[in-house]
Amino acid sequence: MDLLDWHRGTLSSRRLAVLVKHMPRDSAVNRDLYGEAVEWDASTHLLAALVDHSAVANWMTATINSGEDAEPLDYPEPVARPNLSATEPDTDKSDSDDGQEDGELPAPDRLARFFA
């Protein structure tokens, strides 16, 4: 395809718009518009979510099984995703009456009671 066809009048503007709109995910136009987000398909997002959930599960297990005198473990950082900062949690923190402040990590005894 030659883009000069549009200038010559043999390629309509509508056809050109359709061709640009339906370019492959990894095309130069999509890469320029959306950056590295074009490389992340659904399976890549699912793998990142799996890694995040596994890290949180390991953190919970270690927190529950550490002694009461042990220093609290750091909460795991989520995998960095395109167009999302790694410091912003992607979960919706709704108001609940669980006796815990927003942003405060649960104590080991609360985790043990929850999973017991």
Tell me the average pLDDT across 48-59.
95
With contact defined as beta carbons under 8 Å apart, do 99 and 106 qualify? Answer: no
Residue-level pLDDT at 100: 58
**CA dihedral angle for residue 8, residue 11, residue 17, residue 19, rounded to 10 degrees:** -120
Residue-level pLDDT at 50: 96
95 or 7, which is more confident: 7
pLDDT of 101 strictly over 80: no
Residue-level pLDDT at 107: 74
Residue-level pLDDT at 83: 67
pLDDT (tens digit per residue) in 35-52 = 877 888 888 889 999 999
Domain ranges of the chain: 1-39, 41-84+106-116
Q: What is the mean pLDDT of the chain?
A: 79
**Cβ contacts of 100 within 8 Å, gap of 6 or more:** 106, 110
103 Rama class: left (phi>0) / alpha (psi -120 to 50) / beta: left
